[in-house]
Structure 1
Amino acid sequence: MTGNRKRRGDAGITVAFRAPKVAGPIVLLAAMAFASTAVAADTTASPAVVRPPAVGSAMSATAMPLSASGYEEHELFLKGQASRYRIADPMRDAEFVDAGSPYETRVLVRRPTNPKKFNGTVVVEWLNVTLDQDVDFVFGATRELLVRDGYAWIGVSAQRNGIDAMKKWNPERYETLAVDASNADPEGGELDPADPLIMAKGADVLAWDIFSQVGRLAATSSRDLLGGLQVRTVIAAAESQSTLKVSTYYNAIQPLHHVYDGYLFYDRTGTLRTDVDTKTIAVGTEIFTALMGYAPQPDTNHQRWWEINGASHFSLDEIKNYVDPFMKRDGAFRDPNGQALDLSERTAAAGACTPPTSYSRVPNGDIMKAALKSLNTWISGGTAPATAPRFVVDRQARPQYVRDANGHVLGGIKTAAVDAPISENSGIGSGPWFCGPSGYHVDFTPAQLCERYGDHGTYVERVKAIVDANVRDGVVLPEEAEKTIEEAEALNFSCGK
């Protein structure tokens, strides 16, 4: 039970305005300035939870066989009223503007069928909309841990891009959904800046309060939302485009309402305030540090930053084994003949990536699972997550990676995929559309493996040594280490004497 839980209980399930904690004269003056708006903000009621029309199926539903792990998935609509905020400076508390803007959105809920399996923690993911479709990249990366350890998960359609995609995909099912409101500031100008990746200016002015309301509803152990699971901890999560939104939420909204107990960021964030004491871990890959143009912040007593050597924006496992199947099923991407395309096929259709074998084999998900479990332990008063080595960056001009003689980035968390590789992996690819973020892998031939390792047994022993070190360092869990060793033992190559 965290300190934030008491504040949530005091406010019930309304989205209550809270002045920031007093940390000095400036913050005290800000709290006094906001005091006159508190009553208006408190009138925002929690959303009603309703079932969607029985027309078709849920877009972006998981293709993972949840029932085999004792889990179930539900699509639900949330209908309520949201407040608007002024975020003039994303590194300061937001200013309440007004309440009462109507919205209706959807959430996907995945939870244990048996309440006894629930571990008390709900992960609330702000769904990524860069691909003009809701995609649950955090769930995809951490899925084995979530069902193994009994987490519940909620995916939030907070942005208009995702809503518009659903309405286009199945108008009858999703016709009532709407999350937009006026972006006009009563004091002049606009309230909500453009999304830095999808450039949808003003489309998501209600998203901040929608995300608050979903988190608060989860924290109340809502029977309508979670079937009555008894919730202790609520963690916000996001990947890529969504991390930039949720890092703004962390900086500007979290200090007002203290909805979330922790934050899990997948592939970096914007700059985070260090005076917001909610525990956070951000996991980065090679591409996003390059795109952002700066290295992560220093670790603090409530923030951790991990970077994965050789990792692309999303790894081969989570795309091929998770995202591609549901995107192919939904068919939001299609070729000129109307045939459904998955993400890999859509990337290939945009033009030739160099090389054509997209996505690094470096297992982002293994690091993400360790990060989530460490964060959950940290929130509950346990040991803090490990500190991890950073990428080596040349800061003389625009930050650039320092690389070895083979062109590999120095530093970061190194897994067996990097230090006992079966392929050449890169976090950054070349070519149009998603070729760059996808990175690539080029598998070694059996002859190359023999030249590198001498024999299969030596290769396996090297993998064992690396994953054992990863486990000791706290960046890989024992279950993923065992799986990596099993995959190494199953790899079929033999070397002649």
Structure 2
Amino acid sequence: MTTYANAVQPLARVYDGLMIHSNSAVAAPISGRLVDVLTNPSRIRTDTAVPVFVVLAETDVPGAAVARQPGTDRVVHWELAGTAHGDQWAVDLGGPTVQKSAGSAAPEPGCAAGSAPYNDGPGHHSMNAALRALTTWEQGGPRPASGALLDADRRDPATGGIRLPDVVVPTRTRGTATRTRGTSTTTTRPTRRSRPLRSRY
């Protein structure tokens, strides 16, 4: 989508606004050849004529952090605390469609026996809010506020970012990040720290 926003949209002018979900620091080469990988980092062009809303899940921040850029009147950036690129909501909603279209190449529908479930954090709520804000923005409404950056390197859970109630007052803990056939996920388990939890209410 970074490549589309930078190289195709300015010429095709198909969309009134663009939402980019979890782009990495390196954009796909428009030629389709890996030898033509674009300059790292690849940022959204600052002269875009349409609003561009970039939303990163927490698991995608390490691979995209070097491409962070200051917000502009046409580019807004959110990083979602406690979220995974591939979460339980996406698996439940999109699993059948992915299985039908990708066949054996599709991500596995569940985690290994005895392991924690997929991350079921609030990612889709934040994405819905971002999509609504983008729609209002491209129709002439106010520019959405840029979010605070995540600090995912120093502690778990990460600090900063867009923080919904599930993260501010957690009832579960996040497990080790895993990759299931190319899909970034994290796991969640019930928290056992009831006293600190009660103190947050």
Q: CA deviation at 1:328?
A: 5.4
The question of whether the paired residues in 2 share the 8 Å contact of 1:281 and 1:305 is answered with: yes
Alignment partner of 1:414 out of 159, 163, 173: 163
Q: What TM-score do the two structures reach when normalised by structure 2?
A: 0.77
Which residue of 1 is the match for residue 127 of structure 2? 368
Report the CA distance shift for 1:383/1:330 in structure 2 as closer, same or farther (over 3 A): closer
Alignment partner of 2:62 out of 290, 306, 309: 290
Which residue of 2 is the match for residue 300 of structure 1? 72
1:387 counterpart = 2:146? yes
Letter matched to residue 132 of structure 2: K
Letter matched to residue 138 of structure 2: I
Residues of 2 paired with 1:254 and 1:328: CA distance?
A: 30
Residues of 1 paired with 2:17 and 2:146: CA distance?
A: 17
Q: Which has the higher contact order (CA 8 A, sep 6+)?
A: 2
The question of whether the paired residues in 2 share the 8 Å contact of 1:323 and 1:343 is answered with: no
Report the CA distance shift for 1:453/1:310 in structure 2 as closer, same or farther (over 3 A): closer
SS at match of 1:288: helix
The question of whether the paired residues in 2 share the 8 Å contact of 1:280 and 1:304 is answered with: yes
Which residue of 2 is the match for residue 256 of structure 1? 11
Report the CA distance shift for 1:408/1:361 in structure 2 as closer, same or farther (over 3 A): same
Letter matched to residue 429 of structure 1: A
Report the CA distance shift for 1:311/1:295 in structure 2 as closer, same or farther (over 3 A): farther
1:332 counterpart = 2:91? no
Letter matched to residue 411 of structure 1: G
Alignment partner of 2:108 out of 343, 346, 354: 343
Residues of 2 paired with 1:279 and 1:285: CA distance?
A: 20
Letter matched to residue 4 of structure 2: Y
SS at match of 2:188: strand
Residues of 1 paired with 2:51 and 2:101: CA distance?
A: 36
Gaps of 5+ in 2: 28-42
The question of whether the paired residues in 2 share the 8 Å contact of 1:251 and 1:273 is answered with: yes
User: How well do the aligned residues superpose, as a CA RMSD in angstroms?
Assistant: 2.9
The question of whether the paired residues in 2 share the 8 Å contact of 1:267 and 1:285 is answered with: yes
The question of whether the paired residues in 2 share the 8 Å contact of 1:361 and 1:425 is answered with: no
The one-character-per-residue Cα deviations of 1:332-365 (angstroms, maximum 9, x if unpaired) are: 239xxxxxx87333x64xxx8xx93243222111
Residues of 2 paired with 1:310 and 1:277: CA distance?
A: 32
SS at match of 1:424: strand
Gaps of 5+ in 1: 1-245, 335-340, 393-400, 463-497
The one-character-per-residue Cα deviations of 1:469-489 (angstroms, maximum 9, x if unpaired) are: xxxxxxxxxxxxxxxxxxxxx
The one-character-per-residue Cα deviations of 1:269-328 (angstroms, maximum 9, x if unpaired) are: 541110122101010012222123515211100110000012111222221x21234445
Residues of 2 paired with 1:413 and 1:281: CA distance?
A: 14
Q: What TM-score do the two structures reach when normalised by structure 1?
A: 0.34
| Percent identical residues | 25
Letter matched to residue 443 of structure 1: P
Residues of 1 paired with 2:8 and 2:157: CA distance?
A: 39
Highest CA radius of gyration, 1 or 2?
1
The question of whether the paired residues in 1 share the 8 Å contact of 2:108 and 2:181 is answered with: no
Alignment partner of 1:318 out of 87, 90, 97: 90
Counterparts of residues 39-438 of structure 1 (less than 5 Å): 246-268=1-23, 270=27, 271-292=43-64, 294-319=66-91, 321-327=92-98, 332-333=103-104, 343-345=108-110, 348=112, 356-392=115-151, 401-404=152-155, 407-425=156-174, 429-430=177-178, 433-434=181-182, 437-438=184-185
